Amino acid sequence: MLERQPQLQIVGECSDGLKAVLTAKESEPDLILMDIGIPILNGIEAARRILEFLPEARILFVTENRSAEVAEHALRTGGQGYVIKSNAASELLFAVEAVLQGRHFVSSGVID
């Protein structure tokens, strides 16, 4: 879906949090889509580390975790958005646009 957006350029893809941190150091992306439940270093901790050296990066969490508590923790860590994967077809592009414009986005699938 994102590859078909001409205004977006994908500069990397990682399968674990540690690789995400290293890739972000190398490529310095404007926007990072991060899953929370990734191996080696979870997505929230990876985001926290990335924001230490790249504070202007925008982080959009894309995850299956619907917990409002987890979403709140992810956003307090510095994330600007939180999208539930099962809602991604209808919400992801809106979330990307909102986050790139400096606004926050929280998926309608988050449960208290």
Q: What is the pLDDT of residue 6?
A: 64
Query: Which residues touch 26 (CB under 8 Å, ≥6 apart)?
Result: 12
pLDDT digits (tens, 9 = 90+) for 28-67: 999 999 999 999 999 999 999 999 999 999 999 999 999 9
What is the rounded distance in angstroms from the CA atom of residue 20 to the CA atom of residue 49?
A: 10
What total of structural domains would you count in the chain? 1
Q: Is residue 78 in some structural domain? A: yes
Mean confidence (pLDDT) of the chain: 91
Q: The tokens of 38 are what? A: 């990734």
Q: Is residue 111 in some structural domain? A: no
What is the rounded distance in angstroms from the CA atom of residue 30 to the CA atom of residue 63?
A: 20
CATH code where residue 57 lies: 3.40.50.2300
Boundaries of domain holding 6:
2-106
pLDDT digits (tens, 9 = 90+) for 78-112: 999 999 999 999 999 999 999 999 999 999 989 87
What is the rounded distance in angstroms from the CA atom of residue 14 to the CA atom of residue 86?
A: 20
Q: Is residue 74 in some structural domain? A: yes
Q: Is residue 101 in some structural domain? A: yes
